[in-house]
Amino acid sequence: MSYLLWIIQIMFVPLVAPLGVGLINSLKARIQKRRGASLLQPYRNLWKLFYKDEVISRDASFIFRFAPFIAMGVTIIVGACLPIFTSTLSTPMSDLLAVVYTLALGTFFMALAGMDSGSAFGGSGSSREMTISAIVEASFISSILTVAFLSGTTNIAVMSAGLSPGSGNFLIPIVLAFAAFCIVLLAETSRYPFDNPDTHLELTMIHESMLLEFSGKRLALMEWAAANRLLIFSILAVNLFFPIGIAHDQAVLSVLLGISSTLLKVAIVYIVLAVLESTIAKYRFFRLPDLLLVAFVLNVVAIGLVL
Amino acid sequence: MMSALASPTMLIAAMALFGIGGVGAVLLRKSDRLANYWSSAFALFGSVTALVFAVSMLASGQTFVAQTTSDSFPLLSFALNIDRLAAFFLVTISIVTFFCSLYGIGYIKQYYGRYNIGYLGFLYNLFIVAMLLVVTSSNGIFFLIVWEIMSLASYFLVAYDRHDPENVKAGFLYLVMTHIGTAFILLAFILLYVHTGSFDFTVIQAAMPTVPAHIKDSVFLLALIGFGVKAGIIPLHIWLPAAHPAAPSHVSAIMSGVMIKTGIYMMIRLFLDVLQPAPLWWGIVVLVIAVASCVLGVLYALTEHDIKRLLAYHSIENIGIILLGVGSALVFSALGMSGLAVLALTAALFHTLNHAIFKSLLFLSAGSVIHATGTRNMEKYGGLIKLMPATGLFFLVGSIAISALPPLNGFFSEWLTFQALFQGIAQTDFYIKWLFIGVTAALALTSGLAVACFVKAFGVTFLARPRSQRAEKAHEASAVMIAGMAGLAVLCVAVGVGSSWIIAQLQTIAQGVLSAGDHATLVTVTSGHILSIAEGFATVSAPLLSLLLIAVPLVVWTITRFGINRSQRVTTGRTWDGGTDLTSRMEITSTGFARSIILIFRGLLKPSLQHSVEYEDAASRLIPRSRSVTLSVQDVYRRYLYRPVFIGFIHLSHWIKNGIQNGNINAYILYILVVLLVMLGLVGVW
Amino acid sequence: MQQLPELEVIGSALQDNVRRLFKGSLAIRQIDTGSDNATEQELAALTNAYYDIERFGIHFVPSPRHADMLLVTGPVTRNMAEALKRAYDATPHPKLVVAVGDDAIDGGIYKGSYAVLDGVSQVIPVDYQIAGDPPSPLVIMQSLLAILDGAKKAPKQKGQS
């Protein structure tokens, strides 16, 4: 049983992530009164890209060639460390800081790959991405830290087991930290109002402009990794702060309940994202620190209220 | 066997080897090659001997005390006290000096015929010996003598490349600052002597209960400033970004990697050992200074485009991170939480070791780049990874380590520092808790900015296309230089993978310093590799993390390469440029990369932007001939701290010159009379 | 919204072809080589709520590196010839080049001008052409369908890139 659970745990993020992107795109199309592509379109895109040849810039070095594998690998590792449907699968890998910095390793190589080809777009994309990820990191760590102090462990896989939801004095710090984490989620996954994932204008891109040089398999891995990242942050948002339905044992029924509740909660996050992206405008780049400062203040208050 | 290695003979042998290396280099100065090989070889032997000695001291756990006194100088004694803390610093110093000496063999060659190599070899060996003695001495006066030798030797090394007036200026600034520091240290020791009657650290420690609190506080502040200058804390750091880049790169590596750590060593020695028990506010002061150093250090690093100055500012940042550990240890021990104090000090020690390794690695690889391109300006680099792949790889390893990214060593010491701070939040009461929340946030911000800064440093230097003709003709470093860098790079990986074992060892050192018993064990290593803090509050496994981070990308590569679409063809073409020729001026530059971060933090950095346009026709100003934009940051600390002090000194001097020293002999005789009367009066009082 | 019934028919046939040839995902990079923007208007209309070409698995991408098909408009001005060549080289195989509009096919109303090279085929190999000045979105879709019907299997590479 445990092996089976581990297989589900490891496969969950990479397999479900493209569906999530499909869901967001299709919802956005609906809001625009279009029918849009099918939910499965991201899988088709990836599959097609895997069967295309590649053109690699002659200026690019091994960093460019290996960055997609590291970016993808990092999201698989972190995906396997999350409390996806149960709080019983725990390894020392699930440490809060290990997860944050492993994700940062992926960003590090992605940003380097953006600079590697020497294109003007890639470099400015890397600069913007690193600017945002540099100032968002403090909020990322401290929002999860609030939950860690509540549950007495920084192991995110088992964190939810230490929480007793509904208890009154937990609620305010959890809600504050969750609000802060939502801002972190938008920043780290390059969504509105930080970045426009659908843009074709190089000048306004942040994340996408680092990918302009990638083609074929490497592009597929980069896009897949971005989808995984979105799912990872969504799972963290719902299962750390509101671990309702998550299994605390390995019985078949509670695991099934865990999986379905996670899918439901993540779907809600994606629906909110789609609505958000259809209704608000992108922020000016230099207004983003204000938003991140808000996240930071929320976190400080949340941690202060915990103890 | 062990006892033979741990005997003081080994230490004396190491000193002797450095001595032979230094003196021999002077004697062989006629031949550049011989002087280089001689001094570097003996520096290598000396480092190995010192390393073996220090490691066996640590392994055997013994303390070595030696003292010689002479009647003619009753206060000066050649007193050594090598406990575990000193042995740990000996290990750190000798590891770095070993690889730097190896690297030096190749690096010094560029000075052949231009400068005196024998002189360099002499100073280099003297510098190392002085550092080794600084961390082992246990007598105030003896300490000051070796401290001064260390400072002077490093001054001459900073000014070694003397044909560049910038270097001479940097050396002078260093000389002034380090002596201001020494003056404060001297005052601290004299205050201690007045109240304890001895310069010997053990005697001072024993007499500590009789010293009044305000004297202890004064000693703390004096020593904090004195050693803070050497460690490079903000705002006493101004010499550091000037002096470290000026020295030859293998010396920069030693200065940044270990010399500034001697300041840290003495802070740990005095504040956590000799002057204990300490009041709470000491720790708070150290924490505040640490936060300022790490946040401002990394922000100033981001604004730099001189690669060695960038690294020097990162040294300030990392000194800040180490001081976060030291400051937390002070706070915890003042609150009586010995277990947490041990945890915090362990983190500080581990970061000291790690910073020594990766910072010297970065300085050495920066040295190779400068050697190959002839400039320190990062805007003139670009695309070097294709021309110097080994150096590029080592710089990448160093960058990942200093950015605290897993699985290299920097991550684990920063992890441990974070854990100490987390425990500080969890276990202290109201006001101190808020302090720790702020400090934790500052550390997280620092590490985020450090990642951005090293994306910039590595990307601008090694990626994309060369931006100058010198960079196009860059060449790989020589084999010995590569060997020196490779050794440090391997250590970055090894210390990362073996971090749980090393942390366990460092914990015993920290327990020894704080005289805390075994009960104060917060860090435990379970099932051989899992590091666990405070009974499972946080756990991490370095080998597992390393394994996964290497294996999973490899698996992904194998599957995508061989599992899907095997017949895929990969071709190389030009970078997609939208039809416009991509010149090197269109790549992102160091200034451009950091610009948005600088603008976000403009409140702190005070950036200034200057446009200047030259026109073809000055009258109508229609056709510009050239346009230039200069983006720079103001030195806030220079403007608001150093300049007022400087102006004050000038005014004082004028006042003395015009008021007292007025050239009237009668007035001078009056001064002498007044002084005589005052002295007589004083004698009468006593 | 009332839609033309034939749009649905063409669309689903197009979708079948995209599935067959491009695994259900056709990425288009549009290149303007000095067009008068009439064709661009029609191409932009493909993604609006009425035609909504995205539901058939066809989408526009920001870089030729990501593309399966280059839709080239305009008569190829001298200044754009090199850019067009480079975009073609930047596109990984398998790729299709489609010249859209009369200008792109042979210069159209600009034919013979000293400023233009009279059509895309003068610069890069063109696989298919869509006539019209400009072709309406429906015509473009019909032509795409014809093109994909004609391409029996995914196009293999022709020249060395």
pLDDT tens, residue by residue, B476-531: 989 999 999 999 999 999 999 999 889 988 988 998 888 876 666 778 887 777 88
Rounded to an integer, the average pLDDT of B341-345 is 92
| In a domain? residue B580 | no
Residues of C in contact with A120 (CB under 8 A): none
Whole-number mean pLDDT of chain B? 89
Residue B132 has pLDDT above 90, yes or no: yes
Sheet containing B538-541, strands listed edge to edge, beginning at the edge strand earlier in sequence? B523-526, B530-533, B538-541
Rounded to an integer, the average pLDDT of A122-138 is 91
Please report which confidence band the pLDDT of residue C157 belongs to, taking 50, 70 and 90 as the band edges: very low
CB A230 within 8 A of CB A17: yes
CB contact under 8 A, B433 and A56: no
| In a domain? residue B211 | no
Which residue range forms the structural domain that includes residue B625?
A: 607-686
C150 touches chain A (CB under 8 A): no
Rounded to an integer, the average pLDDT of B558-579 is 87
Q: How many CB atoms lie within 10 A of CB C45?
A: 15
Strand runs (DSSP E) across B616-666, as ranges? Answer: 624-633
CA distance C75 to chain B (A): 16
**Which helix or strand (DSSP H or E) is residue B608 part of?**
strand B607-615
pLDDT at residue number C152: 61
CB A63 within 8 A of CB A112: yes
**Burial class of residue B563 in the structure, from the number of CB atoms within 10 Å of its CB (0-12 exposed, 13-18 middle, 19+ buried):** exposed
Residue A168 has pLDDT above 60, yes or no: no
Whole-number Å distance between alpha carbons of B262 and B88: 12
Chains contacting chain A through 3 or more C-beta pairs under 8 A = B, C
Whole-number Å distance between alpha carbons of B180 and A131: 38
| In a domain? residue B62 | no
Do both B497 and B635 map to the same domain?
no
Residue from C19, C63, C69, C95 whose CB has the most chain A CBs within 10 Å, to mutate? C63
CA distance A43 to chain C (A): 9
Please report which confidence band the pLDDT of residue B2 belongs to, taking 50, 70 and 90 as the band edges: low
Residues of C in contact with A21 (CB under 8 A): none
| In a domain? residue B121 | no
pLDDT at residue number C9: 86
Do both B535 and B677 map to the same domain?
no
B470 touches chain A (CB under 8 A): no
- Select from C63, C82, C161 the Cβ nearest to the Cβ of B579: C82
CB contact under 8 A, B579 and C87: yes
Better pLDDT: B96 or B567: B96
Residue B72 has pLDDT above 80, yes or no: no
A7: its two tokens: 């297989």
B90: its two tokens: 């000996």
- Select from C23, C62, C89 the Cβ nearest to the Cβ of A200: C62
**Which helix or strand (DSSP H or E) is residue A213 part of?**
none
Radius of gyration of chain A (CA): 19
- Select from A53, A127, A300 the Cβ nearest to the Cβ of B569: A53
Boundary (domain end) residue, out of B541, B562, B583: B562
Residues of B in contact with A102 (CB under 8 A): 406, 545, 549
The residues in B 528-547 lying below 8 A from A, measured between CB atoms, are: 530-531, 536-541, 544-545
Place of tokens 């590697």: A116
pLDDT at residue number A165: 56
Chains contacting chain C through 3 or more C-beta pairs under 8 A = A, B
Rounded to an integer, the average pLDDT of B195-218 is 88
pLDDT at residue number A90: 78
Residue B566 has pLDDT above 90, yes or no: no
pLDDT tens sequence across B12-41: 899 999 999 999 998 988 888 899 999 999
Rounded to an integer, the average pLDDT of A119-140 is 90
Whole-number Å distance between alpha carbons of B107 and B365: 11
> Taking CA atoms, what residue in B is nearest to C84?
B579
Provide φ and ψ at B216, rounded to 5°.
Answer: -60, -40
ipTM of the complex: 0.95
CA distance B578 to chain C (A): 6
Whole-number Å distance between alpha carbons of B385 and B464: 9
Cis peptide before B407 (omega within 30 of 0): yes
Considering its fold, how many domains does chain B have in total? 2
A127: its two tokens: 């600069």
Of the candidates B259, B315, B317, B320, the one whose C-alpha atom is nearest the C-alpha of residue B100 is: B259
- Select from A35, A45, A52 the Cβ nearest to the Cβ of C92: A52
Of the candidates B240, B274, B276, B286, the one whose C-alpha atom is nearest the C-alpha of residue B86 is: B274
Chains contacting chain B through 3 or more C-beta pairs under 8 A = A, C
Strands B624-633, B607-615: pairing is: antiparallel
Whole-number mean pLDDT of chain C? 86
Which of A209-213, A288-292, B177-181: highest mean pLDDT?
B177-181
Provide φ and ψ at B531, rounded to 5°.
Answer: -90, 130
Residue B449 has pLDDT above 90, yes or no: yes
pLDDT at residue number A166: 54
Whole-number Å distance between alpha carbons of B417 and A67: 29
Residue from C31, C78, C86 whose CB has the most chain B CBs within 10 Å, to mutate? C86
Topology (CATH level 3) of domain C5-10+19-148: Rossmann fold (3.40.50)
Rounded to an integer, the average pLDDT of A218-235 is 94
Whole-number Å distance between alpha carbons of B257 and B243: 14
Residue C2 has pLDDT above 70, yes or no: no
Residue from C7, C16, C19, C25 whose CB has the most chain A CBs within 10 Å, to mutate? C25
Provide φ and ψ at A86, rounded to 5°.
Answer: -145, 150
Residues of B in contact with C63 (CB under 8 A): 576
CB contact under 8 A, A61 and B386: yes
CB contact under 8 A, A69 and B448: no
CB A192 within 8 A of CB A276: yes
> Taking CA atoms, what residue in A is nearest to B449?
A134
Which of A1-10, A273-282, B353-362, C145-154: highest mean pLDDT?
B353-362
Residue from B299, B431, B463, B559 whose CB has the most chain A CBs within 10 Å, to mutate? B463
A162 touches chain C (CB under 8 A): no
B562 touches chain A (CB under 8 A): no
Residue B474 has pLDDT above 50, yes or no: yes
pLDDT at residue number A164: 61
Residue A280 has pLDDT above 70, yes or no: yes
Place of tokens 């009586």: B336
CA distances from B330 to A147, B432, C9, C53 (A): 28, 12, 77, 67
Number of residue pairs across A and B with CB atoms under 8 Å?
266
| In a domain? residue B547 | yes
Identify any residues that bridge with A40 across adjacent strands, giving them in sequence order.
none
Residue B3 has pLDDT above 50, yes or no: yes
B566 touches chain A (CB under 8 A): no
Per DSSP, the three-state class of C113 is coil
CB C98 within 8 A of CB C141: no
- Select from B459, B553, B577 the Cβ nearest to the Cβ of A115: B459
CB C115 within 8 A of CB C77: yes
Do both B554 and B448 map to the same domain?
yes
Residues of A in contact with C48 (CB under 8 A): 34
Whole-number Å distance between alpha carbons of A216 and A228: 18
pLDDT tens sequence across C28-77: 999 999 888 889 999 999 888 888 888 888 999 989 999 999 999 999 99
Whole-number Å distance between alpha carbons of A235 and A224: 16
Strands B570-573, A54-57: pairing is: parallel
Place of tokens 């600052």: B177
Residues whose CB falls within 8 Å of the CB of residue B520, separated by 6 or more in sequence, listed in order: B338, B339, B341, B342, B511, B514
pLDDT at residue number B74: 67
The residues in B 348-387 lying below 8 A from A, measured between CB atoms, are: 382-383, 385-386
pLDDT at residue number C28: 93
CA distance B217 to chain A (A): 31
Whole-number Å distance between alpha carbons of B219 and B235: 19
Residues of C in contact with A53 (CB under 8 A): 92-94, 157
pLDDT at residue number A86: 85
- Select from C86, C92, C93 the Cβ nearest to the Cβ of B577: C86
Radius of gyration of chain B (CA): 27
- B62-76, B107-121, B659-673, C40-54: lowest mean pLDDT where? B62-76
pLDDT tens sequence across B234-280: 888 889 998 989 999 999 999 999 999 999 999 999 999 888 888 99
Residues of A in contact with C23 (CB under 8 A): 44, 47-48, 51
**What is the torsion angle, in degrees rounded to the nearest 10, for the CA atoms of residue A134, residue A137, residue A139 and residue A140?**
150
Considering its fold, how many domains does chain A have in total? 1
Residue C84 has pLDDT above 90, yes or no: yes
CB B402 within 8 A of CB B450: yes
Whole-number Å distance between alpha carbons of C86 and B179: 62
pLDDT at residue number A112: 94
Do both B473 and B340 map to the same domain?
yes
Place of tokens 């042995």: B87
| In a domain? residue B107 | no
> Taking CA atoms, what residue in C is nearest to A212?
C63
Please report which confidence band the pLDDT of residue A49 belongs to, taking 50, 70 and 90 as the band edges: very high
- Select from B444, B541, B565 the Cβ nearest to the Cβ of A137: B444
Rounded to an integer, the average pLDDT of B114-118 is 89
Please report which confidence band the pLDDT of residue C159 belongs to, taking 50, 70 and 90 as the band edges: very low
Which residue range forms the structural domain that includes residue A83?
A: 2-306
Scored b (16 or more CB within 10 A) or e, B666-676 reads: eeeeeeeeeee
pLDDT at residue number B87: 92
Residue C161 has pLDDT above 60, yes or no: no
Residues of B in contact with A92 (CB under 8 A): 530-531, 539-541, 544-545
CB contact under 8 A, B540 and A131: no
Boundary (domain end) residue, out of B562, B579, B598: B562
pLDDT at residue number B114: 87
